[in-house]
Amino acid sequence: MQENDLIYMDYSATTPTDERVIEAMLPFWRDGWGNPSSSHKYGQTAKMGLETARRSVAQLLGANPAEIVFTGSGSEADNLALRGAMLKARDTGRGNHLIISPIEHEAINHTAHQLADKMGFELTVLPVDQYGLVSSSDLQSAIRPETVLVSIMAANNEIGTQQPIFELGAVCHEHNVLFHTDAVQAAQYIDWDLANAPIDMLSLAPHKFYGPKGVGILYVRNDTPLISTMTGGGQENGQRAGTVNVPFAVGAAKAFELVMQDLETNNNKLQALRDSLISRLLQLFPADQVMLTGHPTQRMPHHASFAFKNIPGGDLVMHLDLLGIAASSGSACSSGNPIPSPVLQAIGLDDHWNAGGLRISLGKHSSISDIDRLIEQLPNALESLKQFSSVVYG
Ligand SMILES: Cc1ncc(COP(=O)(O)O)c(C=O)c1O
């Protein structure tokens, strides 16, 4: 996507809201603004919009409408899954053990560590291999009688790797353990059939697929033991208190419908662009200076990620931005003081390689000319970064 000579290559961070999504939301601010819990006509109009949205999301996921909970973000959906399941298990004496991977998004990682550090739950963090994959045999060995929940992301935001979630979920179900997956990055690339999948809970964030920000979705399979962590009114089937944001729920459903309509075509188009980007970028530099991070094939079709030897990804992103290209890194960093990326550390990269990578994530407005421009400008960005570093740090 090129706007005023700027190129957007950060679709994994967020996406521009689709015009058709905005059109679908507008009536629920203008006319259907009632409280969907009210029994009068105003409320019923809003409720109709909300329930139509819920049915549509449920149908696309292969789920029942009662299994869809609208939340305020993907992070909130993750929080509800982990806290809700663990606190309920404590109530019922089911167990106190939770398993995650070391490359989960902070919404899972920080929540799991808070449950362990502040609330006395036991936490196991599984290893991953050089591509970021969790193995089902490691999972199998980590499960104990008191294990309540396993949460493994469907795909990683930083390195793009897609986990074998159906295989991992099956291991959990063999042991009567709940399985949650954070599908915030992966939702629009997979043809879901949750009624027949070993997945009990799944988190989505519509702003990753051309929907609005400020809304998330948690799928909760019927009869999954969960308590509401947002307490108050009985909205969302008692699972999430608070007057529901109807326009955002409607926008979330419309965005999901649009993106799932052309799933295969979208995936093929993105993958072709992405593969061309990867091969051209790797040819630009010597193999001892750059590497692809994440799995070479088992990764989201729009996602390419790289590590550059002794180059902090955050600084590179800043220099690309000066050249009109919006990309991202995986690591928090202040110039010259990079903090190693926990994800790159977890896949075994040493200090020469783990100071944050370069993530290029494509979307429906991306084109081959965007990639041409990146390939043309990347050496300039690296050159200006090296010059800047030698001026600042000698
Ligand atoms: C894998 C993953 N999980 C959760 C989140 C959080 O989603 P949200 O920004 O909607 O809270 C993100 C956001 O980037 C993500 O990439």
CATH class (in words) of the domain with range 19-261: alpha beta
| Catalytic center residues | 333
**Ligand 1 atom 14: residue of nearest CA:** 13
Helices (H) and strands (E) in the chain, counts: 12, 15
105 C-beta closer than 6 A to ligand 1: yes
107 C-beta closer than 6 A to ligand 1: yes
74 C-beta closer than 6 A to ligand 1: yes
Reduced to 3 states (helix: H, G, I; strand: E, B; else coil), residue 263 is helix
Q: Which residues pair with 129 in a beta bridge?
A: none
288 and 302 Cβ atoms separated by less than 8 Å: no
Q: What are the tokens at 325?
A: 């290209």
**Ligand 1 atom 7: residue of nearest CA:** 74
Locate the domains of the chain by residue range.
19-261, 263-393
Give residue 119's pLDDT band: very low, low, confident or very high (50, 70, 90): very high
- What is the rounded CA–CA span in Å between residue 187 and residue 32? 28
- What is the rounded CA–CA span in Å between residue 136 and residue 222? 25
pLDDT tops 90 at residue 318: yes
Percentage with pLDDT > 90 across the chain: 92
Percentage with pLDDT > 70 across the chain: 96
Neighbours of 205 (CB within 10 A): 27
184 and 208 Cβ atoms separated by less than 8 Å: yes
Model confidence pLDDT, tens digit, residues 69-101: 999 999 999 999 999 999 999 999 999 999 999
Query: Which residues have CB under 8 Å from 217's CB, separation 6+?
Result: 57, 68, 69, 70, 71, 77, 203, 204, 205, 206, 252
Helices 263-284 and 368-393 pack at an angle, to 10 degrees, of: 40
Atom of ligand 1 lying closest to residue 14 CA: 14
CATH 3.50.50.60 for domain 263-393: no
